[in-house]
Amino acid sequence: MEKNIILAGVGGQGILSIAFVIDNAALDAGFHFKQAEVHGMAQRGGAVQSNLRYSDGEIFSDIIPSGRADIVLSIEPLEVLRYWHYLRPEGWVVTSVTPYVNIPDYPERDQLLAELASFDRIIMVDTAHLAKAAGNLRAQNMVAVGAASQLLDFSEEQLLKHVEGLFARKGEKIVEVNRRAFAFGRAAGLFFRGLVEGGMTRLAALDLCSKMVPATIDPKHAGAWAAALGTDEEKLAAVLATEDEIPCDQVV
Amino acid sequence: MNREILLGDEAIGLGAIHAGMSGIYAYPGTPSTEIFEYVERKTKKAGDIHAFWSTNEKVAYEEALGMSWAGKRALVCMKHVGLNVAADAFMNSAVTGTNGGLVLAIADDPGMHSSQNEQDSRFFAQFALIPCLEPRNQQECYDMMFEAFDMSEELSLPVMVRIVTRIAHSRAAVTTAAARPQNQLSPSKEIKKWTLLPNNARVQYKHLTEKQPELLRLAEDSEHNELRLAGTTGVIACGLAENYLSENLEADHDLSILSVRQYPLPAQKVRKLVEHVDELLVLEDGYPLVENMVRGLFGLEGVDVKGRMTGEVPRTGELNPDIVREALGLPALPTAHTRVTEIANRPPALCKGCPHTDSFRALNEALNQFDNPQVFSDIGCYTLAALPPLEAVHSCVAMGASIGMAAGAAHAGYSPAVAAIGDSTFSHGGITPMLSAVQQGVNLNVLVLDNSTVGMTGSQRSMSTGPTLDQIILGTGIEEEHFRIIEPTPRNHEANVEVMREELAHDGPSVIVARRACIEAIKIKAS
């Protein structure tokens, strides 16, 4: 077993916090791991990444070779594009769909998301929506790692232990926000995947996820939602047009 | 025995603590900064290790040498270009030799992630005639500190531990060992050794050359320099380059491999490899140092030596597993997606609300009366003002160079000669050129951007900020009416432009301090 993950985002979004959680889970599990990161000049508002590798065997390179990444986990949609070519043929992308616009030539959002959605093995999550519902917009990184957790080799508890460890000194309230963000992300990632496997397009699945009351999202309802909406665009549009957020268990 | 998650930098710091270090000396510089920061954090409570930032690398080196003189173990850390600053003390410390163990941990930056060049510090070790260790992973960063200190005390020489960005800023689990107690105070009484008057220096330099066979013997016997002979294609893999090699090899490969992690280069082992192979690839993250030594001026008869000089490995830049794969002649691995070439760039930028932005907006406006004015700048966050939208500065060469270069340009008749330098860079390398310029009465304008911290490297303590900075500037002999202080804020823009215009009009040296705290530093203090 070997898992190579490229963590991507913009300086300040909290990539290293994601790395902390996975590093420590890997250490607990007795895995070898290496995790290269970016400090210094490249950090100031620029694109940042971290190469995280864990394995039950020895790891040599601190950098993931092209074609050996299993997951690109990005807290920002544009940043996926920078690392796509590192993915092995069966590799996955897990990404936030919330743009971080600090440059004048940022691409048009819908076009960018359509490009991402054309990739077969992608999990797209509305991290801003979920983090806000969890209690703090800054917890988008924990939403993202939650969404990716289904692809990792650790239980939810193994990861949450280090989410708690990471935020413990900031007080119980912040710990709770981040636990919740992780849980929302995990549920949304699984739900999104369930919708797509049930036949919905990725963009439709994303829109539907964003319409749900975050705390109610439960992957066990994905099949029913996919069956109810399928590729029926009108029906989806009607659901999306409702004013309030929809509880996940009230399948239309 | 314990397992801890550590950056390569941190592993060096912890290794030094456990190896009985009594003092750590450094000036911040990416990618070396975290060595010092880790030690400072880790030992603050106990307070049994001297850990205080130095004003520059030369000072740091001399302080470390002084602690060595006193019989205790000292670690001095810096980035590669920092050793240029410390070179005087460094080169001569090899001639004096040491008393307590003295280790120089130096972090090179191949690929220039955060640097002005990618010079290879192994040349400096060779130049100074001292041993150099080159760890390939975090565990070796830790372990080699014990070895380096012991070696330093056995040989009475400073020992270099050379790392590169990719280890400095990569984490892994490190198994720690039992800590060794610190040395007792035992000042050196060997006066002639430390007093490099020509007569003494000649004797000491001869000693140094006489130690060389022993250094070579240690490298030949070192387990860090491992030779594994197999087929007739050979690879020399230095430091972490071996990781990129191993990453690409199948278990049943047939390459003959020499790993090199201790210098001077083990000549006998290289000879054995060379005699065994007809093709030899040299992999090193940095300059083609070993490659050129092995090839020599005219090539090696019967062996095709490949590497950076022959194009199998790019002449410049950082190594990575993909480059090594190609150099080995292996096909690229299949990927899920082709490389996307046209992606909007996200260059580093000054933070929102940064005082430097206000300083340079004012400077740009004050200078707009001149035709294409050029501003000499320095090394720090404010160098980012070279990029759009500000495009306010036009040079960045070396710590403190802005003032010296502005003075030289003024000597040549260039006007207005403007230098922009941060408060910490000023203490590092700006004071002496400023003193020189003021005493010469040069017509130049120095803008000192006092944000009260070392911003770029993560908010370390600045040595000359606030009143200390003002006193230093006044101490150079500048006329008080041409020493101005402004607060760079959007609200003060017009007034600041006016102050700058007045000083630009003055024929003679003037200094404007733009004083407002770094917003990141304020955040860090608050948390």
Q: What are phi and psi of B201, to 5 degrees?
A: -65, -40
Candidates B322, B320, B258, B318; CA nearest to B290 is B258
Is residue B492 within 8 A of residue B463, CB to CB? The reply is no
Is residue A125 within 8 A of residue A96, CB to CB? The reply is yes
Quote the pLDDT of residue A230: 85
Interchain CB contact of B526 with A (< 8 Å): no
Q: What is the pLDDT of residues A192-240, one digit of tens each?
A: 999 999 999 999 999 999 999 999 999 999 999 999 998 888 999 999 9
Helices B355-366 and B493-505 sit at what angle, rounded to 10 degrees? 50
Closest in A32, A45, A88 to B336, CB measured: A88
Residues contacting A120, CB < 8 A, separation 6+: none
**Closest residue of chain A to B459, computed from CA coordinates:** A40
Structural domains in chain A, sorted by start = 2-185 (3.40.920.10)
Residue A40 pLDDT grade (very low, low, confident, very high; cuts 50, 70, 90): low
Q: What is the pLDDT of residues B10-63, one digit of tens each?
A: 999 999 999 999 999 999 999 999 999 999 999 999 999 999 999 999 999 999
Does the beta-carbon distance from A23 to B325 stay under 8 Å?
no
Quote the pLDDT of residue B364: 98
Quote the pLDDT of residue A11: 86
Quote the pLDDT of residue B479: 97
Q: What is the pLDDT of residues A59-70, one digit of tens each?
A: 999 999 999 999
- B31: preceding bond cis by omega (within 30 degrees): yes
Residues contacting A64, CB < 8 A, separation 6+: A4, A6, A51, A53, A86, B321
- What is the CATH number that goes with domain B227-327? 3.40.50.920
State the SS3 of B135-157: CCCHHHHHHHHHHHHHHHHHHCC
How close are the terminal C-alpha atoms of chain B, in Å? 33
Chain B positions touching A41 (Cβ under 8 A) are 30, 113-114, 348, 456
Interchain CB contact of B251 with A (< 8 Å): no
Quote the pLDDT of residue B527: 61
* pTM over 0.80, yes/no: yes
Mean pLDDT, chain A, integer: 95
Question: Residue A41: pLDDT above 70?
Answer: no
**Closest residue of chain A to B115, computed from CA coordinates:** A41
> Of 3.40.50.970, 3.30.70.270, 2.130.10.10, 1.10.8.50, which CATH number belongs to B2-221?
3.40.50.970
Interchain CB contact of B333 with A (< 8 Å): yes
Chain A positions touching B349 (Cβ under 8 A) are 44-46, 102
Instruction: Mark the ranges of chain B whose per-residue pLDDT is less than 70.
Output: 1, 527
Does the beta-carbon distance from A89 to B166 stay under 8 Å?
no
Question: Residue A163: pLDDT above 80?
Answer: yes
Question: Identical fold at B2-221 and B227-327?
Answer: yes
Residue A43 pLDDT grade (very low, low, confident, very high; cuts 50, 70, 90): low
Closest in A24, A66, A81 to B333, CB measured: A66
Question: Residue A44: pLDDT above 70?
Answer: no
Question: Residue A22: pLDDT above 60?
Answer: yes
Closest in B335, B340, B348 to A66, CB measured: B335
Q: Where are the domains of chain B?
A: 2-221, 227-327, 355-526
Question: Residue A45: pLDDT above 90?
Answer: no
Quote the pLDDT of residue B63: 98
- B389: preceding bond cis by omega (within 30 degrees): yes
What is the distance between the alpha carbons of residues B410 and A136, in angstroms, rounded to a whole number? 54
Does the beta-carbon distance from A88 to B333 stay under 8 Å?
yes
The one-letter amino acid at A122: I
Contacting B residues, span 389-408, partner chain A, CB-CB under 8 Å: none
Chain A positions touching B247 (Cβ under 8 A) are 60-61, 65
What is the distance between the alpha carbons of residues A242 and A236, in angstroms, rounded to a whole number? 10
> To which CATH superfamily is domain B355-526 assigned?
Thiamin diphosphate (ThDP)-binding fold, Pyr/PP domains (3.40.50.970)
Chain A positions touching B344 (Cβ under 8 A) are 78, 103, 105-107
Quote the pLDDT of residue B349: 84
Chain A positions touching B137 (Cβ under 8 A) are 34
Report the complex ipTM: 0.94
- B131: preceding bond cis by omega (within 30 degrees): no
- Nearest chain B Cα distance for residue A51, angstroms: 9
Is residue B169 within 8 A of residue A36, CB to CB? The reply is yes
Q: Is B224 helix (H, G, I), strand (E, B) or coil?
A: coil
Scored b (16 or more CB within 10 A) or e, B301-324 reads eebebbbbebebbeeeebbbbbbb
DSSP class of B514 = E
Tokens of A139: 């917890």
In chain A, where do the E strands start and end?
2-10, 32-36, 47-55, 69-74, 87-96, 122-125
Closest in B246, B334, B346 to A89, CB measured: B334
What is the distance between the alpha carbons of residues B430 and B513, in angstroms, rounded to a whole number? 13
What is the distance between the alpha carbons of residues A42 and A157, in angstroms, rounded to a whole number? 34
Size of interface A-B (CB pairs under 8 A): 152
**What is the mean predicted confidence (pLDDT) over A99-122?**
95
- Nearest chain B Cα distance for residue A153, angstroms: 18
Quote the pLDDT of residue A46: 84
Closest in A27, A60, A68 to B333, CB measured: A68
What is the distance between the alpha carbons of residues A209 and A216, in angstroms, rounded to a whole number? 11
The one-letter amino acid at B307: G
Is residue B396 within 8 A of residue B386, CB to CB? The reply is yes
Question: Residue A42: pLDDT above 60?
Answer: no
